[in-house]
Amino acid sequence: MKKGKMIILSGPSGCGKTTISHYLLSKFSNLKFSVSCTTRSIRNNEKHGKDYYFISMNTFISKIKKYQFLEWEEVYPKLFYGTLKNEILKIWKSNKHVLFDIDVKGGLNLKKKYPNNSLSIFIMVNSMNLLKKRLIKRNSETLKNQINARLNKAKKENNYAKLFDFILFNIDLFQTKKKIIQIVSNFIYDK
């Protein structure tokens, strides 16, 4: 089977990864989103099988034991996320490239495993206050400790930005979109 390419989007929760990945998917018909498994509960605007596969902890553990994950992480305390090997193979089989929205550790793991066919992009927000405002506005992290968990993680994640192929400061979404289209086109259409 032909091996396609991988585009890895990482960055702190609330940095705009989801918006950017939806934008990329609307612009590149040969790009497909890798739907991850998660043990977190579903949000109002989400769909099982589209945003994530929402599964129980027991099912998650059984998938680990059966080596079904390409990578997995306890992204937040007691909340697990993982990329299924099958998901990627399915996408490559359909002659498409894979788009990942993944945490920093997971993103760097994929980059290490696939150095020759991956592009890694770190989306950066240059102010913790701005990130906090976005997380509150998103209204999904209603509990204060959930917001704090994400902010604490963001501080640590920013230290790894330099290990990515590109760092994009998401200050002005219009500019970010313009830049990312360029970066992704160069990578996808480079023979």
- Cα separation, 4 vs 42, whole angstroms: 30
Closest to ligand 5GP by CB, 16 or 82: 82
**Whether the Cβ atoms of residue 119 and residue 182 lie closer than 8 Å to each other:** no
Q: Provide, rounded to whole angstroms, the least separation between the CB of residue 34 and ligand 5GP.
A: 7
For residue 101, state whether it binds ligand 5GP (rule: CB under 6 A).
yes
Which residue, 48, 31, 36, is CA-closest to 83? 36
Q: Provide, rounded to whole angstroms, the least separation between the CB of residue 80 and ligand 5GP.
A: 9
Q: Which of 60, 81, 122, 187 binds ligand 5GP (CB under 6 A)?
A: 81
For residue 40, state whether it binds ligand 5GP (rule: CB under 6 A).
yes
Q: Provide, rounded to whole angstroms, the least separation between the CB of residue 96 and ligand 5GP.
A: 18
- Determine if residue 95 is left, alpha or beta; phi over 0 gives left, psi from -120 to 50 gives alpha, anything else beta: left
Tell me which amino acid residue 183 is. I
**C-alpha 60 chain-centroid distance:** 18
For residue 36, state whether it binds ligand 5GP (rule: CB under 6 A).
yes
Closest to ligand 5GP by CB, 24 or 102: 102
Q: Provide, rounded to whole angstroms, the least separation between the CB of residue 84 and ligand 5GP.
A: 8
Closest to ligand 5GP by CB, 17 or 32: 17
Q: Provide, rounded to whole angstroms, the least separation between the CB of residue 50 and ligand 5GP.
A: 12
Strand partners, 166: 121
In angstroms, the Cα distances linking 33 to 19, 67, 102 are 13, 21, 11
What is the torsional sign of CA 84, 170, 151, 158? positive
- Identify which range of 22-30, 60-68, 73-81, 119-127 contacts ligand 5GP by CB under 6 A: 73-81
Q: Which residue is nearest to ligand 5GP (CB)?
A: 106
